[in-house]
């Protein structure tokens, strides 16, 4: 992950070049998303509906982290990578 100094260096590569506004916005959005990901500055709330016999769900595109999961007033606990492997049947 790039830090702010490296992000500035990346932007400096384009100084003096013909950069479209779209490319400049895309570069800034990438760096801003990385900053928000690291700092966890932004929080949002989302609800997903469950469907019988469905084990996996798509998260919203703007989801960076899942802080907690509640299902029928039950707070689901975190699982480790080894727990996940057991659930998926990986030895």
Total number of domains constituting the chain: 1
Residue 81 lies in a domain: no
Question: With a threshold of 0.85, does the pTM exceed it?
Answer: no
Q: Is residue 11 part of a domain?
A: yes
Q: How would you write the pLDDT of the chain (91 residues) with one tens digit per residue?
A: 556 677 667 667 767 777 778 887 888 888 888 887 788 777 777 888 888 888 788 888 878 778 788 888 888 887 788 887 887 787 6
What is the widest separation between alpha-carbon atoms in the chain? 57
Is 9 a domain residue?
yes
Question: Does the residue 16 lie in any domain?
Answer: yes
- With respect to residue 30, please indicate whether it lies within any of the assigned structural domains: yes
The pLDDT value given to residue 3:
63
Q: What is the pLDDT of residue 62?
A: 77
Q: Residue 12 belongs to what domain range? A: 4-39
Contact 6, 38 (CB under 8 A): no
d(CA 24, CA 6): 16
Q: Considering the domain boundaries, does residue 75 fall inside one? A: no
Evaluate whether residue 91 is within a structural domain.
no
């Amino acid at each position: 992950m790039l830090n702010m100094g490296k992000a500035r260096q990346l932007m400096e590569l384009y100084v003096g070049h013909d950069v479209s506004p779209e490319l400049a916005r895309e570069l800034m959005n990438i760096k801003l998303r990385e900053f928000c990901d690291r700092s966890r500055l932004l929080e949002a709330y989302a609800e997903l509906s469950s469907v019988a016999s469905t084990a996996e769900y798509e998260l919203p595109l703007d989801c960076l982290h899942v802080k907690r999961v509640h299902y029928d007033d039950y707070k689901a606990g975190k699982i480790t990578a080894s727990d996940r492997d057991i659930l998926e049947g990986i030895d």
